[in-house]
Amino acid sequence: MMLPTASKKETSAGAGWGRVETRSFQLPKPHRLRGGAVLAEPVVAYETYGKLSPGKDNAVLICHALSGDAHVAGFHAGEDKPGWWDRMIGPGRAFDTDRFFVVCSNVLGGCRGSTGPASLDPATGKPYGLKFPLVTIADMVDVQKRLIDFLGIKKLLAVAGGSMGGMQVLQWGVSYPESVAALIPIAAAARHTALQIAFNEVGRQAVMSDPDWRGGDYYGRKAPARGLALARMVGHITYLSEKSMERKFGRLRRRKANGRGFTEEFEVEGYLRFKGGHFVKRFDANTYLYLTRAIDHFDLSAERPLVEVFRALSRHRLLAIAFSSDWLYPPVQSKEIVKAAKLNGADVTYCEITADYGHDAFLLEDVEQSRVISRFLEVTYRKNT
């Protein structure tokens, strides 16, 4: 089997990747979701970086957050913006592609190449819309496992990801403990709190209140851009911290602001509107509803205590990273994960990084985070090869 690869930039070590292509893997048969619904041969979009070793023991899976996708590093043809975690992946970087084979896929239910509500339903030839079944974090991981099997990898060296990606990391440890040696959940939680659910619900209501949403049946028509943009604006506030917003914007006013009416007067208003407007150009509104619902449903301790759920991790290594200013997924939630894993005898490392970026720190703080991950992967590789 030939594995898709990316081409490296001809620059010094640590310079990252050049052009990379997103590939597709179609499951060869119908796939049953945890809730019982069946998808007819769903498709998974993915990218790979580096080379798989002869022993196939150097593979690392990266799981993306809510608004992410398979394009984690490098550049697509004709684009000048790199993948969403580009600074962390490449020769000499945290996920060193001179040593590791890195895989990242778009989640099931997504809108960036994987099967989701915007995909065509083979039974009707039309987009699924709200006929698409609800998916869970476990469903996403199940499909990732099928992809890893397709790539010929029996055991992952590590699975890593932040936010919703961190939830997938934990689910990997619970669903497929024999198929992964180490887990790296970053700025994550084992379950959503009422506050976290509340913010997601405001976003969903913003989408569904847009007249253009049309009960989810807007494909081929005007998309509910206003509602989705508003949802993104609300969500983006939770990704930041008060200190970072004050430092970046304070009470700065836009040059043309006249203080009258309700046009963009403060710089922070223009920033949020820009973020909302940019988001709707690349993201599907129904996908936003499905993925935020999957996050809200995620609760590893729903049926039994977390310490019992983590019994399968007794022989695993775990690196939990949290950020001091993250109030959306505060460090206390990472500590809950650490405690449950330690009580089961897992080899656990906890790192709380001081950063002012808020929840977005896992995407922006690459110096200390890179150092910690590099060392953790180095030791993990040595212990497992």
CA distance 145 to 141: 6
Strands 180-186 and 156-162: parallel
**Nearest residue to 116 (alpha-carbon basis) of 103, 107, 105:** 107
CA distance 163 to 143: 19
Is residue 149 among the annotated active site residues?
A: no
- Which residue among 163, 244, 325, 334 is the active-site one? 163
CA distance 226 to 280: 8
Residues contacting residue 241 through CB under 8 Å, at least 6 positions apart: 325, 326, 327, 356, 357, 358
Is residue 316 among the annotated active site residues?
A: no
Alpha helices in the chain (DSSP H): 137-150, 164-175, 194-208, 225-239, 242-248, 267-279, 285-297, 306-309, 331-342, 361-364, 367-384
- Which residue among 31, 192, 236, 359 is the active-site one? 359
- Which residue among 96, 326, 356, 360 is the active-site one? 326
CA distance 136 to 32: 12
Contact by Cβ (8 Å): 63, 57 = no
CA distance 114 to 140: 10
Is residue 236 among the annotated active site residues?
A: no
Strand partners, 191: 299
Active site residues: 163, 326, 359
